[in-house]
């Protein structure tokens, strides 16, 4: 079904079990907006929040100069207005459709009701959000504190630790994607992998990586050793 499919891609609901996604999709209302149409205004009471299915939504505030200040452009999978909605306050900014767009609307009362009847859903959402915060905190720290070889080593350790096979690893992303996840570029990643190979820490065959020296890799990841 269309709505449920869309809900899987909402970052706010990531990782929730199937049945809870279904419950959520039951209370969602589809709303269609024309290009240029207002979705809500700053100061409006947030009686619900929106999730973008298709199109792009501009969230903005009128700056003092009269000029408008764009705060975000949200696209498919992004939620808007969820913070004031959960809090029961007003929208701090206005939103307008940049394209013809389809959104899902989650009414506050229905949502409350849902959580009341199914406390697990609330707790699950809280747990999922907490888990993602933990990851993001590490990512922020990693980006500014560690150099590329450390970041890469930490990434590889993570992959190795989250699978059975402690010898060989199949990369799930293109190397360019991994580079960008690690906050660097393809070329640098390639050179770093090469250095690790030269030092006998790993062996790289396309997307397949064989772990040769786990201690060394761990040392690199923790920042105690260097390439």
Partner DNA sequence: CAAAAGCCCTGACCTAAATCAAATATCATG
Partner DNA sequence: CATGATATTTGATTTAGGTCAGGGCTTTTG
Residue numbers at the binding site for DNA (CB under 7 A): 65, 67, 147-149, 174-176, 183-194, 204, 206-207
CB atoms within 10 A of CB 83: 13
Tell me phi and psi for residue 197, to 5 degrees: -65, -45
Q: Binds 123, which of DNA, its own copies, none (CB < 5 to 8 A, cut-off by type)?
A: its own copies
CA dihedral 181, 204, 201, 156 (to 10 degrees): 30
125 binds its own copies (CB under 8 A): yes
Closest to its own copies by CB, 33 or 111:
111
User: Residue 186: which of its own copies, DNA, none does it interact with, CB under 5 to 8 A by kind?
Assistant: DNA
Binding its own copies by CB under 8 A: which of 1, 34, 65, 172? Answer: 65
Q: Cβ of residue 143: shortest distance to DNA, in angstroms?
A: 10
Give the integer Cα–Cα distance in Å for 25 and 28: 5
Beta carbon of residue 34, minimum distance to its own copies (angstroms, whole number):
25
Number of residues that bind its own copies (CB under 8 A): 59
Q: How far apart are CA 202 and CA 47, in angstroms?
A: 54
Q: Which residues, 6 or more positions from 68, have their beta carbon under 8 angstroms from its beta carbon? A: 60, 61, 62
Q: Work out the angle at residue 72's Cα, subtended by the Cα atoms of residues 71 and 76, and round it to the nearest 5 degrees.
A: 165
Give residues in contact with its own copies (CB under 8 A). 11-12, 14-15, 61-65, 67-69, 71, 79, 82-89, 92-93, 111-112, 115-116, 119-120, 122-127, 129-134, 136-141, 143-146, 161, 166, 183-184, 214, 223-224
């Amino acid at each position: 079904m269309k709505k449920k499919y869309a809900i899987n891609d909402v970052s706010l609901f990531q990782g929730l079990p199937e049945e809870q996604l279904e419950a959520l999709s039951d209370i969602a209302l589809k709303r269609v907006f024309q290009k240029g149409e207002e979705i809500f205004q700053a100061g409006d009471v947030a009686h619900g929040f929106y999730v973008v299915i298709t199109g792009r939504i501009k969230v903005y505030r009128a700056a003092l100069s009269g000029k408008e200040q764009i705060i975000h452009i949200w696209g498919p999978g992004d939620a808007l207005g969820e913070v004031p909605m959960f809090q029961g306050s007003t929208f701090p900014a206005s939103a307008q459709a940049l394209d013809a767009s389809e959104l899902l609307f989650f009414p506050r009362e229905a949502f409350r009701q849902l959580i009341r009847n199914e406390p697990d859903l609330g707790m699950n959402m809280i747990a999922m959000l907490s888990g993602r915060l933990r990851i993001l905190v590490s990512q922020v720290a990693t980006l500014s504190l560690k150099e590329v070889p450390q970041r890469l080593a930490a990434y590889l350790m993570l992959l190795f630790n989250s699978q059975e096979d402690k010898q060989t690893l199949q990369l799930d992303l293109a190397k360019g994607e991994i580079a960008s996840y690690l906050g660097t570029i393809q070329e640098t990643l390639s050179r770093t992998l090469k250095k690790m190979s030269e030092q006998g820490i790993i062996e790289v065959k396309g997307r397949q990586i064989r772990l040769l020296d786990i201690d060394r890799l761990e040392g690199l990841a923790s920042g105690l050793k260097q390439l």
